[in-house]
Amino acid sequence: MRRYSAFAIAREAARYHTGWERAWRSPAPKKAYDVVIVGAGGHGLATAYYLGRNHGIRNVAIIEKGWLGGGNTGRNTTIIRSNYLQDESAAIYEKARSLYENLSQDLNYNIMFSPRGVMMLAQTEHEIRGYKRTEHANRLQGVETRFISPKEVKKLVPIIELGGPRYPVLGALWQPRGGTARHDAVAWGYARACSDMGMDILQKCEVNGIKQKNGQVTGVRTTKGEITCKKLGLVVAGHSGLLAEMAGFRLPIESVSLQALVSEPIKPCMDVVVMANTVHGYMSQSDKGEMVIGGGADGFNNYTQRGSFHHLEETVRALIETFPIVSRLKMLRHWGGIVDMTGDRSPIVSKTPLGGTFINCGWGTGGFKSIPGSGWAMAEMMATGEPGDLAAGFGLDRFREGRFIDESVAAGVAH
Ligand SMILES: Cc1cc2nc3c(=O)[nH]c(=O)nc-3n(C[C@H](O)[C@H](O)[C@H](O)COP(=O)(O)OP(=O)(O)OC[C@H]3O[C@@H](n4cnc5c(N)ncnc54)[C@H](O)[C@@H]3O)c2cc1C
């Protein structure tokens, strides 16, 4: 595939952009692959990419029932950070954050990574204690975070209201190298690189059965016919429970809807990401000028890609407390995604009871930030058959053994 470069843009400009080739192929499915990955979201595509790049496994199909990146990967609010509490989490999220730093160069695709800084507001004494604990843990883990004063918060975010009607801002956990990236571009960049390595991305192809023999996976049934494989990766976020059922095991996962909304575009007014866990809302400004806003997840299980109205109302109310200027903004659109929640708010990157089958899920409301690290770890596990250091703690066995990786503080407002 031809590389994207300044020279290529100039050349195409001179010939009215008629020479661009398609970013990825849309092939017909082959009868057999070494590896099949179900789910062409960020995590599935990243798994395929690192299988090829790090382990030389390229006879791979990535099967997607809709369009690539059309699941949560294309629906999230793009926050990237690694200020988690537990060592296992800090390791995988920091690996992901550091891979994001050079992902555009690595993929030769501009993912618009913007390390603008992420702050999580402390608005109760309890939150101050929680975030100071995280700051200390992060120092030991080599993750750069700092607890900052309300004065520093105001300096970084002039539009914030420090003395809100219910909860004043008492400080914040600040990660200067956190930020955002363009979510679609992450999926598109990985897809293009996978296609370039000869992998097949099969869109509009739903997996509706998993074939097995003597406890070993042999292939999948799809709406485009049967495909055999030696190894199978299930990377379908909110649909993980359904795929696990097809494979014959159960998961400790609940699927709920999480929603977000964007405002009309306005002039640049906020150049960091702010999350307010106590009042439950968060906001950043996109490159187009829209304010990107998110809140909490629905309190009941469902598979709809939209959210309930009361959440929308609560999120906007929370935002108005923290940023009074929001009350003057018109909202343009809102949407929802089906997120996969575990009890300890940590992911599952694991072998499964079905031989040759691996699962990557449970990223819940915060898995965009982990895409590169998760793909890296999942690819290592699929290539070698065993989880490496990054994935070791995230096995399914932790739920049986009570070895939880509790991230309820880090995942407070989700994301
Ligand atoms: C509103 C919202 C805001 C969020 N904000 C953030 C944030 O700011 N920061 C952050 O880090 N994370 C955030 N997240 C979470 C993040 O988006 C997800 O954790 C992440 O995108 C999951 O990626 P994935 O590749 O696992 O899943 P997905 O992108 O959902 O991909 C899974 C794919 O599997 C496909 N699939 C399902 N079943 C089948 C089948 N039977 N056959 C074939 N294909 C199938 C689906 O169509 C889908 O495309 C947010 C999520 C939402 C919904």
Q: DSSP of 246-278, one letter per residue?
A: HHT---S-EEEEEEEEEEEE-S----SEEEETT
Q: Distance between CA atoms of 51 and 203, rounded to whole angstroms?
A: 20
Pocket test for ligand 1, best of 76, 78, 246, 259 (most atoms within 8 A of CB): 76
Report the candidate in 271, 265, 71 with the shortest Cα–Cα distance to residue 183. 71
Q: Is 192 in the pocket of ligand 1 (CB under 6 A)?
A: no
Residue 408: predicted pLDDT: 80
Phi, psi of 98 (to 5 degrees): -70, -35
Task: Evaluate: CB of 183 within 6 angstroms of ligand 1.
Answer: no
Q: What is the DSSP letter of 394?
A: G
Distance CA 304, CA 100 (A): 30
Spacing, Cα 239 to ligand 1 middle (Å):
9
Q: In whole angstroms, what is the distance from residue 362 CA to residue 86 CA?
A: 16
Asked if 84 and 96 touch (Cβ cutoff 8 Å), the reply is: no
pLDDT of 165: 84
- Cα atoms found within 13 Å of the Cα of residue 27, Cβ hemisphere only: 16
Question: 37 in ligand 1 pocket by Cβ < 6 Å?
Answer: no
Q: Please indicate whether residue 210, judged by its CB atom, sits closer than 6 Å to ligand 1.
A: no
Backbone angles phi, psi at 375, to 5 degrees: -60, -40
- Cα 7 to ligand 1 centroid, rounded to whole Å: 35
| pLDDT for 312 | 86
Ordered mean pLDDT values, 10 residues apiece, the chain (415 residues): 93 95 96 98 98 98 98 97 96 98 98 97 95 96 98 98 92 98 98 98 98 98 98 98 97 94 96 93 95 89 84 89 92 93 96 98 97 98 98 97 87 55
Cα separation, 318 vs 277, in Å, equals 10
- DSSP labels, 100-161: HHTHHHHHTS----B---EEEEE-SHHHHHHHHHHHHHHHHHT---EEE-HHHHHHH-TT--
The predicted pLDDT at position 411 comes to 65
Assess whether the C-beta atom of 44 lies below 6 angstroms from ligand 1.
Answer: yes
> Residue 405 Cα, ligand 1 centroid: separation in angstroms?
21
Q: What is the pLDDT of residue 412?
A: 56
**Pair of tokens at residue 312:** 């929308």
Query: In the numeric block, which tokens belong to residue 37?
Result: 């990955």
pLDDT, tens only, 185-228: 999 999 999 999 999 999 999 999 999 999 999 999 999 999 99
Q: Which two tokens stand for residue 363?
A: 């990223």
State the Rg of the chain over Cα: 21
Quote the pTM value. Answer: 0.97
- pLDDT, one tens digit per residue, over 141-185 is 999 999 999 999 999 999 999 998 889 999 999 999 999 999 999
Task: Give, as one character, the DSSP assignment of residue 28.
Answer: P
Helix (H, G, I), strand (E, B) or coil at 405: coil
Any ligand 1 atom below 6 A from CB of 63: yes
Query: For tokens 């929370």, what's the residue?
Result: 318
Residue 373 near ligand 1, beta carbon < 6 Å: no
**Pocket of ligand 1 contains residue 47 by CB under 6 Å:** no
- Confirm or reject: Cβ of 72 under 6 Å from ligand 1: yes
Closest CA to 364 of 327, 322, 394, 319: 394
Q: Is the dihedral of CA 82, 87, 88, 94 positive or negative?
A: positive
* 23's tokens: 């970013």
Coil, strand or helix at 23: coil
Pocket test for ligand 1, best of 47, 72, 312 (most atoms within 8 A of CB): 72
Instruction: Decide whether any atom of ligand 1 lies within 6 Å of the 42 Cβ.
Output: yes
Q: How far apart are alpha carbons 76 and 109 in whole angstroms?
A: 20
